[in-house]
Every structure is written in C-alpha cells, then in structure tokens.
Amino acid sequence: MEQLKLQPESVFDFFFQICEIPHGSKNEAQISAFLQNFGKELGYETIADEVGNVLIKKPAYPSYEDRKTIILQGHMDMVCDKRPDVEHDFTKDPIRTFVDGEWLKAQGTTLGADNGIGVAAAMAVLADKELKHGPVNCLFTIDEETGLTGAEMLTSEFLQGDILVNLDSEDEGEMFIGCAGGICNYAEFTHDWVAVPEGYFFLKVDINSLTGGHSGDDINKERANANKLMARFINRVAKKFDCYLCEISGGSLHNAIPRDASAVIAVPSADKESVRVEFNIFAAEIQNEFSATEPTARFTMQSTDAVANAIDRESAKKLLQSLQAVFNGVYAMSADMPGLVETSSNLASVKRVGENKLLVTASQRSSVESARDNVSDTVRAAFELGGAVVTTNGGYPGWKPNVKSEILKVACDTYKELFGADAKIKAIHAGLECGLFLEKAPGLDMISFGPTMRGVHSPDERLHIASTERWWRHLVALLENAPRK
C-alpha cells in the first residue's frame, strides 16, 4: 500500500503500519505482538498479560520527573465491516486507505481509525525522544468493540498511574468526562419446520444500503433499523395475505445500527403480484419517512427458488411480532446534560444459530445504571412474551462525570492557549473502557479526547485529517503541562 504523507507524519505513519496488520476484534494476536516488539526495540519496559493487553512504560523527560504519571490508553481492535460488493478478508488483507478531500477513508471497508489512530498517537509519543512529559505509560487493550474483555481482564499492575487519558473519542475539541454503560440481551427463538403447500410462490426480500452507524453515537440521528423495517413489512403482508416465513436475517454487530436485512417468504401464486405492489408501497412510505437520513436505502423483491419447508406459523408470528414490538432507539434524554442521550436500545441482529433456532441480539446503553437495567428488562419482556429464551450478559459500568478533574482543567487551558477557543466539555452515549478502569482504580483522574471521525463502525468510517493534526498538538501540550505530584 502506498504510504500517504499526511500531518502529523509520525502519527499517520504508525497508523498506516497498523492498517497493514489484521486486528479485528478477537483477532489481535498480531497487533499485540507488533506493539510488544515496538516497545522492546525502543528499550522501554514492556509488559503483556495472558489475553494480549500491552503496557509500555516511557520514563520522564529530564526535569519532568516531578509530574504525575499519565496513562495513555487506546484499544487495538477494530470493527470489521464491509460493503456487500467488496472482496476483503479482515483476517489477512490490509486496510486500503485513500484521501478524499479533507478525509482519510478506506476502500469499501471500515477504516479502523476507531481506535487505530489512538494507538498510533501513543506510539508516536513513545518514539519521540524530544517530547517533554512526565512518566508516561501507554496501555493498549484488546477486544473493546465486542465486549470490553481486555479492560475487564486488566490487573492493577496495568493501571499504576495518577491520570488516564483515553484516546478513543470522535470529535476534536471536545473533552469527554463521562460515558454510558451497556448491556446485551440475547433472545433465542425455537421453531418447527412445516411443509410449504403446493401453489405457493417464493419471494426474496432485501432491505439494504441503510446509513447504519454506531449504536451509541448515532442512535439519536433518526436512522432506520433494517431489522425493524423487515419485521414491519412481513407483519404487514401477513395481515393481508396467507404468508409463510422461510428465513430471516439482518445486522451483524451488537454495537452497530443494522444496515441490511433479508428474508424469504412464500405466498399463494395468485397473490404474488399483489404482494409486489404492497412492497412497492411500503418502500415508498419508508423512503418518505426517512428521506432525510436514508437517501441511499434500497428495497428489492425478487422471485427465488422454492424451498420445501418454512418456519411454523405460530413461531413465525411470535418472532415477527416480538421484533416489531421490542423497543429500539432513544429511550430517554439526560436531564443533567442537555442534548445527551441517557438511555437507548438497538435491535442489532437476527441470525440463524441452529437447525431450528434463531438468535436475536439487542444492546442497551445508559449513563444511569438503574435506567440501563430498566430498558434491558423492557426489551427482555418483549422477547419473553414472544416465547424466546433470553440471556442477559453482565454488562459494563458507565463513567460518572467529574467536572472538578485536574487533567480536565489542563486540557481546557492548553486548548484555549493553542487555538484561542474554548474546548467543549461533554459526556458520550457510547461505551468507553473508562468505566471499567475506574472500577479497578477508583483514584484515577480521567478524560477522553480524539480527532474527528464520522461513520464509525460502518464502511463509511472516515477520519478528518486536519483535526488529527490539531488533536496531536493538543496531546503534546497536555503532556508537557501535566500536573505535578
């Protein structure tokens, strides 16, 4: 891959190196080894735990030994998603990057700037012998995107410091001091197979090319959910026509708003044209409803090969009604921070997991633990009323804001000095590892900040180049002005 020369050069050079290494969630062995070798080649104390988390300790610059120890933290893994027409194997192929105006993008896949650019910035700090700072420990965690298991498995040895600066936020000039906690419900629907009678016509229904996005950051942007739309359409057909559901699937990642869904239905041959008309009406209605947020949405229905069996009628009805009934979207806004989503839920995926089983995954978030548990119970109830066996994971904690944070003051003061503008102080509805860090090391003073990114967790992911340069300058100034012990 041709190396692009972007500023700050050192940060982008390390990012492009990361793009060459497969590092999808739960496939971080190569990137972990790469970082371990990097630290050792620099001559710094480098520690790795049994799951692959890496800690590299850089001593203070001369005369800065009296500064508090800062932990710079980012996660190694990336969300692996691509457009359906793109050939890409995330287990071996490099991410192919290109510049589009002010943005760095990938060719039909996620870019991995979440959080590869944070890892790259920490590497640039480690590699630069001239940067002025106190003791810096660079912490790189695994598997943030699919369960925060790296952060969860950390021992206290990896969190020995006074301040933690998380490099995993997505709006330059915004200092994040809190985040949502999260939880997931997994609903297993069991069904029987029944024979489709003679004289039925089979149709494949596809809803795709929706905008999608991050189920935390983008949940308030009125984007359509492909799974909700599919259930809505098939329930509509079932009210008017004799209909069998043969198969259904949609979405993939628990933390991404689903962009695509697919189903196969069987209807009496005499009704096939009426069903096509119904689908065209439905597509037009949805395109009108979501005209501002789903300009690229595609709705297709085509004939397909006959299949012998379909999901039994009662099970299909319960599944589809559960999918339509289950809550999806913003559940509550924060009363403390105007504009912040407090509580939400995302109907993330529907997929076959056995001969006669379908698994539905829905993820819930909230900055208030009791509210998180309430919306989780609400989602669980909808699935259980539909006859599903529901498992709820243990979830992860949120991060309560501390407006009196010492490092927050440094961050805001240095931003003002550099750019002549006030940094914005915010909390984020997405989950960060900070809640788990605080649970393990309650005395940590924490902030999170990063360059501007858009389309995260989707093939539209892009990194704003100029904001990355500003963010790097800010990070350097923050380290130089770190509080004294």
How many CB atoms are located within 10 Å of the residue 271 CB?
A: 17
Distance, CA of 293 to CA of 295 (rounded, Å): 6
Whether 224 and 290 have beta carbons less than 8 Å apart is answered as yes
Q: What is the DSSP letter of 50?
A: T
- Assigned token pair, 407: 């490092």
Whether 436 and 85 have beta carbons less than 8 Å apart is answered as no
Catalytic hit among 77, 81, 114, 433: 77
- Which residues have C-beta within 8 Å of that of residue 121, sequence separation ≥ 6? 11, 14, 72, 74, 167, 471, 472, 475
289 assigned to active site: no
Which DSSP string do the residues of 275-286 spell out, in sequence order? HHHHHHHHHHHH
- Which residues have C-beta within 8 Å of that of residue 317, sequence separation ≥ 6? 238
Rounded to a whole number of angstroms, the distance between the first and last alpha carbons of the chain is 45
Cα distances (Å, whole numbers) of residue 309 to 11, 190, 193, 202, 244? 55, 15, 6, 11, 9
Amino acid identity for residue 266 in this structure? A
Query: Which secondary structure element, helix H or strand E, spans residue 249, and what is its range?
Result: strand 244-250
Distance, CA of 382 to CA of 361 (rounded, Å): 13
Peptide bond into 8 cis (omega under 30): yes
Whether 217 and 427 have beta carbons less than 8 Å apart is answered as no
Catalytic hit among 81, 143, 144, 278: 144
422 assigned to active site: no
Which DSSP string do the residues of 435-465 spell out, in sequence order? HHHHHH-TT-EEEE----EESTTSTT-EEEH
Distance, CA of 295 to CA of 259 (rounded, Å): 13
Q: What is the DSSP letter of 175?
A: E
Which sign, positive or negative, has the C-alpha torsion 63, 66, 68, 73? positive
User: 3-class SS at 176?
Assistant: strand
Active site residues: 77, 144
